[in-house]
Amino acid sequence: MMGKRVVKSGSDADLTKTYTASKDTYVDISNTGAITYSEVANGAAAPAVAANSIRLQKVVTNGT
C-alpha cells in the first residue's frame, strides 16, 4: 500500500481556532494541506467530509 505525506498549508496562525460554545466542530485536512472546520449543533449529524480530505477530529464544546 502506498501512502501520501500531507503537510498543512499556510502558517501556524492558520491553526489557531477559537471553538464556538455548544457546538460540535469537525476538523478535516485536504490532500493539499488545507484545514476545514465545520460546526454543527451539539449532537447533530456529522457533516460530510470536505472534498479531497480526511477527518482528523471532532471537538465537542459545552456552554462554557
Give the model confidence (pLDDT) of 2-50 as tens digits: 777 777 776 666 667 899 999 999 999 988 888 899 999 999 999 999 9
pTM of the entire predicted model: 0.81
Q: What is the pLDDT of residue 33?
A: 86
Whether the per-residue pLDDT at 1 is higher than 70: the answer is: no
Put the strands of the sheet holding 35-41 in their side by side order: 35-41, 23-30, 53-60
Q: How far apart are CA 39 and CA 60, in angstroms?
A: 10
